[in-house]
Amino acid sequence: MNEIAFDSRECGSCPIRHRAVCARCEPDELDILNNVKYYRNYEAGQPVLWAGDQMEFVASVVKGIASLSQTMEDGRTQMVGLLLPSDFIGRPGRDNAPFDVVAVSDLTICCFRKRPFEELLTTTPHIGSRLLEMTLDELDSAREWMLVLGRKTAREKIASLLAILARRDASLKKRPAVNGMAFELPLTREAMADYLGLTLETVSRQISALKKAGIISLEGKRRVVIPELEILLAETGDDVDGGLIP
Amino acid sequence: MNEIAFDSRECGSCPIRHRAVCARCEPDELDILNNVKYYRNYEAGQPVLWAGDQMEFVASVVKGIASLSQTMEDGRTQMVGLLLPSDFIGRPGRDNAPFDVVAVSDLTICCFRKRPFEELLTTTPHIGSRLLEMTLDELDSAREWMLVLGRKTAREKIASLLAILARRDASLKKRPAVNGMAFELPLTREAMADYLGLTLETVSRQISALKKAGIISLEGKRRVVIPELEILLAETGDDVDGGLIP
DNA sequence: GCACGACTTTGATCAGGATCAAACCGGGAA
DNA sequence: TTCCCGGTTTGATCCTGATCAAAGTCGTGC
């Protein structure tokens, strides 16, 4: 859930080869020719990996959004992570995907063959320690999300999700989150429900309620405006400082 | 959630110094004298760390159970992890505890000063990669738990918890989980509720229901007997193979 | 333009778990 | 022994969010 970048300006568009791996950039054509690095595109809704699949690559999201999710036999599904641009996909040291990875929107990922990547991990210690740091951050966010799933009301859940998306959007655009900011909702009501442990009807109703209360407003169905950030944050149930929006 | 051991037989009782760190054992008196390694004891209910506290050590659970948890201002709390013997506490690279750590039962942990430990990480690459592997495993279990919190019914939640505890108990005693096995419930009804995102009354009711259905039986309030593992597993809602009990 | 389909909203009703309340159990101290 | 107290069980009722159902919105292709 965190970019694996050391210096993102210095390098090209590929987070893995250029932003993560090489401290000094080399042209990546070589890697592409050697089939070590390659791009993949998916349409919204397409699966990238099913749980249990062999993973012959690690990857990094370049554009679009992917989800990590689990589905029970009877169809109940729970999203366990959202992967936004610069997020990392993969498990060095494991061969099989632990969860389903699905393109939520149109998606481009940059893949890097697993073996060469694992080589790099052993030969370049700071990559490993960066990866450990990222993994610990993801573990913390997963645990924070457990509070949302286990203890928050539907309204608090929606507010928490909107707060996270607002924050992500701001940081992606490299500007601070401010009152009056607007952003595109990249998820359908159903995807939100799967992330929050709710039904899509409840999601819709709570969004309507927040709108009616003046806490958010919508432009169309997918664009959210937040007149006052503090007021939205108050709805999350978190302490205003700390919590999901540091 | 996973022991950081390379060869546990070869060494003394301290998981960090002896089982994790030194490939070849040295006597640990030296470290104790240097105040690099030390033990701490806590009584049931005592806090080990509050979220935000400076952590000057990493540690490993030697005996007893600790919990990681978060509490909202109004008192709602969610446990985000159970730490059993050989589990690791700490965040190399971070100074502050992200969550509360509380002794659930009487607890002994073995602490290792953070700086020397971080030194070791940089000088001994296989420790780092083992730590990465452990962290990835914990991330997977956290995500699996998100399915429990977000989508399972109260009965399935209880069954899932019992299944996990049964499995942990078996692996701690280094024998397989079998039909008819019995184990001590190390948690109060309230602690179970906090782990499962339920109230203690619901926990109690569902345990009674499982008892009435013959899926478990109790000896006293705290000892659980599982006549048929498969039947309990069927109640978890997971696929019988895979899932929480691999 | 129109029709279709995917997504969303809204309504009516239901049910699972929360809440409030009281009783029960078992162990330890006086 | 008796009392007390933390933990547990059970009961009655309430309420949030699920479920079932229908209608509304919007974009796309014909």
Which CATH number belongs to the domain containing residue A49 in this structure? 2.60.120.10
| Amino acid in the structure at residue B243 | G
pLDDT score recorded for residue A34? 58
What mean pLDDT comes out for the span A191-204?
98
Count of domains observed in chain A: 2
pLDDT score recorded for residue A118? 84
Distance CA A216, CA A232 (A): 8
Residue at A46 is within a domain: yes
Q: Does the complex come out with an ipTM higher than 0.90?
A: no
Which bases of chain D come closer than 7 Å to a protein CB? Answer: 7-12, 16-21, 26-27
Is B93 a residue whose pLDDT tops 70? yes
pLDDT score recorded for residue B123? 76
> For all residues of chain A together, what is the average pLDDT?
83
Q: Which residue range(s) make up the domain with A176?
A: 152-236
What mean pLDDT comes out for the span B127-136?
83
**Tokens linked to A59:** 């990857």
Distance CA B199, CA B201 (A): 5
What mean pLDDT comes out for the span A133-155?
95
pLDDT score recorded for residue A75? 93
Distance CA B225, CA B216 (A): 6
Residues 181-220 of B with CB under 7 A from strand D: 188-190, 200-201, 203-205, 207-208, 218
Residue at B160 is within a domain: yes
Residue at B3 is within a domain: no
Question: Which member of B68, B91, B151 has the closest CB to residue A136?
Answer: B91
Q: Which residue has the higher pLDDT, A23 or B40?
A: B40
Residue at B9 is within a domain: no
Find chain A residues with C-beta within 8 A of B98's C-beta: 140, 143
Question: Which member of A77, A98, A128 has the closest CB to residue B132?
Answer: A128
Q: Of the residues A136, A160, A185, which one is the last residue of a structural domain?
A: A136
Instruction: Using DSSP, state whether A241 is helix, strand or coil.
Output: coil
What mean pLDDT comes out for the span B145-166?
97
Question: Which of B69, B146, B192, B194 to mutate to test binding with chain A, by most A CBs within 10 Å of its CB?
Answer: B146
pLDDT score recorded for residue B240? 67
Same domain flag for B137 and B160: no
Q: Show contacts of A72-77: CB within 8 Å, 24+ apart.
A: A72/B147, A72/B151, A72/B237, A72/B238, A73/B237, A73/B239, A74/B237, A76/B151, A77/A194, A77/B151
pLDDT score recorded for residue B34? 58
For the stretch B1-24, pLDDT in tens is: 433 333 333 333 344 444 343 333
- Specify the CATH number for the domain of residue B218: 1.10.10.10
What mean pLDDT comes out for the span A88-101?
90
Same domain flag for A23 and A125: yes
Asked whether the beta carbons of residue B122 and residue A121 sit closer than 8 angstroms, the reply is no
What mean pLDDT comes out for the span B198-227?
96
Same domain flag for A131 and A176: no
Return phi, psi of residue A123, to 5°.
Answer: -90, -20
Is A12 a residue whose pLDDT tops 70? no
Same domain flag for B22 and B91: yes
Asked whether the beta carbons of residue B128 and residue A133 sit closer than 8 angstroms, the reply is no
**How close does chain B come to A30, measured CA to CA in Å?**
28
> In Å, what is the separation between the CA of B166 and the C1' of C27?
27
Question: Which member of B77, B129, B139 has the closest CB to residue A138?
Answer: B139
Same domain flag for A62 and A102: yes
Residue at B33 is within a domain: yes
**How close does chain B come to A132, measured CA to CA in Å?**
5
For the stretch B195-204, pLDDT in tens is: 999 999 999 9
Same domain flag for A48 and A75: yes
**Tokens linked to A163:** 């707060």
Same domain flag for B34 and B89: yes
Asked whether the beta carbons of residue A143 and residue B142 sit closer than 8 angstroms, the reply is yes
Q: Of the residues B148, B180, B208, which one is the last residue of a structural domain?
A: B148
- Nearest nt by C1' to B200 Cα: D8
Spell A7-31 as b/e; 16+ CB within 10 A means b. eeeebeebbbbbbbbbeeeeebeeb
Is B153 a residue whose pLDDT tops 60? yes
Residue at A62 is within a domain: yes
Among chain B residues, the shortest Cα distance to A76 is held by B151
Same domain flag for A105 and A162: no
Is B242 a residue whose pLDDT tops 80? no
pLDDT score recorded for residue A128? 80
- Nearest nt by C1' to B202 Cα: C17
**How close does chain A come to B242, measured CA to CA in Å?**
10
Q: Of the residues B148, B178, B201, which one is the last residue of a structural domain?
A: B148
For residue A99, give Cα distances in angstroms to A15, A73, A77, A183, B128.
Answer: 22, 14, 11, 28, 24
Asked whether the beta carbons of residue A98 and residue B196 sit closer than 8 angstroms, the reply is no
Residue at A243 is within a domain: no
Q: Percent of chain B beyond pLDDT 90? A: 52
Same domain flag for B19 and B77: yes
What mean pLDDT comes out for the span B124-152?
89
Residue at A21 is within a domain: yes
Distance CA A105, CA B226 (A): 45
Q: How would you write A182-213 as a 3-class SS string? A: EEECCCCHHHHHHHHCCCHHHHHHHHHHHHHC
Residue whose CA is minimally distant from C20 C1': B201
Is B230 a residue whose pLDDT tops 90? yes
**Tokens linked to A96:** 């099989």
Same domain flag for A101 and A179: no
Is B215 a residue whose pLDDT tops 80? yes
pLDDT score recorded for residue B173? 84
Same domain flag for A126 and A168: no
Asked whether the beta carbons of residue B147 and residue A80 sit closer than 8 angstroms, the reply is yes
Same domain flag for B98 and B38: yes
Q: Percent of chain A beyond pLDDT 90? A: 52
